[in-house]
Amino acid sequence: MIYQDTLQFALQQDEQDTLRSLREEFLIPKHNGVDATYLCGNSLGLQPRSAKKYIQDQLNAWEDNAVEGWFMGDDPWLKYHKQLLAPLSDILGAKQTEITVMNSLTVNLHLLMVSFYKPAGKRYKILMEAGAFPSDQYAVESQVRFHGFDPKDAIIEVAPRAGETTLRTEDILQQITDNGDNLALVLFGGINYYTGQFFDLAAITKAGHAVGAIAGFDLAHAAGNVPLKLHEWDADFACWCSYKYMNSGPGGVSGIFVHERHFADTTLNRFAGWWGYRKDKQFLMAPGFEPENGAEGWNVSTSPIILMALHKASLDIFEKAGGLRALRAKSEMLTGYLEYLIGQVNKKYGEDMYSIITPKNANERGCQLSVVCKRDAKAIFNYLAENGVIGDWREPDVIRLSPVPLYNTFADVYNTAESLLKALKAIKQSAVDPNA
């Protein structure tokens, strides 16, 4: 697409957008009585309009049926989670039996590491990206300590080369090869939260398996954002949250993927619970844990129906959109337009005030662009917020902006770029005339 730096072009693209009606499925926050420009889906997705109804439906079922709601009504709770598996299968590129919905992200990461981090002899180390989200860092640190190892020795972090901000795939693969004899687990984020880099998960998995290591992924910033093929890529396990690109509410329910080849592996440890017990014998209440076949065998606690109802409200919109592939095409155009306009802002201002550390290659990123401000970064961020443009801030100088194809428009992107330029001019003017 040949982009143009005009509002007319943006509005024309919105008019031609076959997915434009999806925006009406969401509640847009207001700023001074009009829709804000919300580019923060990388942190918290917007509320589906249907969310209140979906919750109310389950409150009504509770009111009408009480405990019998597990077995009665239009959506008996005992199998409510089954409705989520088809859209998640599309989003994650997994078989439905390889997915279950449960808990929250870091809890799931710990539970999966109980099964798949199995240090033995000299093979005890975990390789991960430097600068992973702190929850992942803390989880890994605590897991290796639990097994009696020093994190400084047992954790290998792959960092960008000097003067670079993102990782090169060849460097990741080389580190896996170089440390292969000692690796028990390769654990990467799907997309790095700070830079927005989408890692080559297929290549990482293949390299990990080649040296005898397990390959697992935290897909917090990838699920619902970029196409995934977890089964095809042969990943061992993965987990994700649902409240970012899957719009399922703050602290929304998480999920896990376990590749089907592990279903019958009786050597895997797991922290068991009644909800993961084999379904054909579940209500016999017998001693001795026998897991349900599939990812559901990793379930621990009772399904949180209200959280799952919120999740379903959003996943139904994904299905209405035609799945993630349809959304991805729009996503690439929106993010590309934002990238183009930021370059135009620099030209208009006469100085490269904004640089983007997210990869330029569309295959190496999702919606998010991480924008580094040359100076006055926090003042620029505050100006955006005060003028109805909602992104988010990361120290020391990064503004993350994510045009989400479900609800963002080309006009949103154009307005954001205009605000980035106005912020520079306003800050420059205030430096000349503090009373301006």
Q: With 70 as the cut, is the pLDDT of residue 171 above it? A: yes
Confidence band, pLDDT 50/70/90 cuts, at residue 1: confident
Q: What's the pLDDT at 242?
A: 98
Quote the pLDDT of residue 386.
Answer: 97
With 90 as the cut, is the pLDDT of residue 351 above it? yes
Query: Which residues 6+ apart lie within 8 Å of 9 measured at CB?
Result: 3, 410, 414
Pairing of strands 369-373, 398-401: antiparallel
| pLDDT reading at 433 higher than 80 | no
CB distance 100 to 255 below 8 Å:
yes
**pLDDT at residue number 431:** 72
Please report the pLDDT score of residue 429 as a whole number.
85
Q: Render pLDDT for 197-247 as a digit per residue (tens, 0 to 9).
A: 999 999 999 999 999 999 999 999 999 999 999 999 999 999 999 999 999
Q: For 249-305, how does the pLDDT look when each residue is reduced to its tens digit (9 = 90+)?
A: 999 999 999 999 999 999 999 999 999 999 999 999 999 999 999 999 999 999 999
What distance in Å separates the CA atoms of residue 375 and residue 352, rounded to the nearest whole number? 11
pTM score: 0.96
Torsion of CA 288, 292, 298, 303, to 10 degrees: -100
Tokens of residue 96, six digits = 């439905």
What's the CATH class of domain 7-35+324-432? alpha beta
Q: Do you find a cis peptide bond into 119, omega within 30 degrees of 0?
A: no
212, 180 Cβ separation under 8 angstroms: yes
Angle between helix axes 324-349 and 7-16 (nearest 10 degrees) is: 180
User: Do 7-35+324-432 and 53-320 have matching folds?
Assistant: no
Distance CA 281, CA 160 (A): 51
- What are residue 237's phi and psi, to 5 degrees? -155, 165
Q: What is the mean pLDDT of residues 160-170?
A: 97
CATH fold of the domain at 53-320: Aspartate Aminotransferase; domain 2 (3.40.640)
Mean pLDDT, range 157-177, rounded to an integer:
98
- What tokens appear for 101 in the block? 């919905």
CB atoms within 10 A of CB 137: 17
pLDDT over 60 at 436, yes or no = no
Six token digits for residue 110: 């710990």
d(CA 292, CA 278): 4
Q: How confident is the model at residue 127 (pLDDT cuts 50, 70, 90)?
A: very high
Q: Dihedral (C-alpha) 28, 21, 241, 195: value to the nearest 10 degrees?
A: -80
Question: What is the token pair recorded at 338?
Answer: 């934002």
The pLDDT-based confidence of 80 (bands split at 50, 70, 90) is: very high
Tally of CA atoms within 13 A in the half-sphere of 293 that contains its CB = 4
Domain segments of the chain as ranges: 7-35+324-432, 53-320
Position with higher pLDDT, 237 vs 433: 237
Q: Are 376 and 362 in contact (CB under 8 A)?
A: no
Secondary structure (DSSP) of 5-41: SSHHHHHHHHHH-TTGGGGGGEEPPEETTEE-EE-BT
CA atoms of 252 and 310, how far apart (whole Å): 8
Give dist(CA 298, CA 100) in Å, integer.
8
Alpha-carbon distance 398 to 314, whole Å?
Answer: 29
Q: What is the pLDDT of residue 43?
A: 98
Residues ≥6 apart with Cβ < 8 Å to 358? 166, 195, 196, 197, 365, 368, 369, 370
Check residue 311 and give its pLDDT: 98
